[in-house]
């Protein structure tokens, strides 16, 4: 894949309109807002905290290891089990599996290398199908290099959080774009950092985790978590 083709592929698969199921999840934003713990003025701080404490420390290394193991279903399944074990809130586990299934289904229909076979493994109950594992698999399958794959995931995660906040009326579209712009140098730093071994992977996003645990108690729910 030449440079122009790789850029176009990254734009396609990082686009919020790509049918990956992210629109159904707020990853704690809804409950934090409902409980008065998240306001417009604190949006960027929250976004940066989620990207540093969850995406960079947890999802990024899982994606990188899944990318490297894209042709080895045994290793992919082991990474998938690790993602399951390290995701504490039930709503987060369910959301990650549902988003992974949606993304994998879209790529299976597009004929992405490895997508249909791993989807069959998940349907058979041999792997949970968490989103970071699926991202590593399919972004390798479409031919992106590892840095581009991680960049697509990082941007898509930040954009998805912003989209949820917009739909909840917490921030405006302009606020979201401003936060994404301010996040860019931080995200570039996360992308350049070393990838930890699977045994060293972990996350620290306690407010969002607690919010997702509390989500089923909310009287009104727009999102699944």
Domains located in the chain, CATH noted: 34-217 (1.10.4190.10)
DSSP state for residue 222 in the 8-state scheme: S
Neighbouring residues of 183: CB distance < 8 A, sequence distance ≥ 6: 44, 47, 48, 51, 158
Can you read off the two tokens belonging to residue 9?
């592929």
pLDDT at 82: 97
pLDDT at 216: 82
pLDDT at 22: 72
pLDDT at 116: 97
pLDDT at 1: 80
Residue 183's nearest CA partner among 33, 22, 49 is 49
pLDDT at 15: 84
- Distance, CA of 101 to CA of 27 (rounded, Å): 17
Write the pLDDT tens digit of every residue in 51-87.
999 999 999 999 999 999 999 999 999 999 999 999 9
Stretches where the chain sits below pLDDT 70 are none
DSSP state for residue 71 in the 8-state scheme: T
pLDDT at 199: 95
pLDDT at 77: 97
pLDDT at 173: 96
pLDDT at 25: 87
pLDDT at 200: 96
| pTM for this model (two decimals) | 0.94
């Amino acid at each position: 894949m030449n440079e122009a083709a790789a850029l176009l592929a990254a734009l396609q698969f990082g686009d919020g309109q790509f049918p990956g199921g992210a629109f159904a999840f707020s990853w704690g934003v809804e409950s934090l807002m409902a409980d008065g713990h998240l306001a417009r003025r604190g949006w960027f701080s929250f976004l940066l905290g989620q990207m540093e404490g969850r995406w960079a420390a947890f999802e990024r290394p899982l994606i990188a290891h899944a990318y490297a193991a894209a042709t080895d279903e045994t290793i992919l399944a082991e990474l998938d089990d690790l993602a399951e074990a390290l995701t504490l809130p039930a709503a987060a586990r369910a959301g990650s599996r549902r988003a992974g299934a949606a993304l994998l289904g879209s790529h299976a229909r597009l004929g992405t290398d490895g997508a249909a076979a791993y989807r069959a493994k998940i349907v058979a109950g041999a792997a949970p199908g968490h989103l970071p594992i699926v991202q590593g698999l399919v972004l390798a399958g479409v031919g992106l290099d590892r840095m581009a794959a991680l960049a697509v995931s990082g941007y898509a995660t930040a954009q998805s959080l912003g989209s949820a906040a917009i739909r909840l009326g917490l921030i405006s579209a302009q606020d979201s774009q401003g936060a994404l712009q301010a996040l860019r140098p931080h995200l570039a730093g996360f992308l350049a950092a070393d990838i930890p071994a699977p045994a060293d992977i972990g996350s620290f996003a306690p407010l969002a985790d607690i919010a997702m645990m509390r989500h089923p108690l909310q009287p009104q729910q727009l999102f699944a978590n």
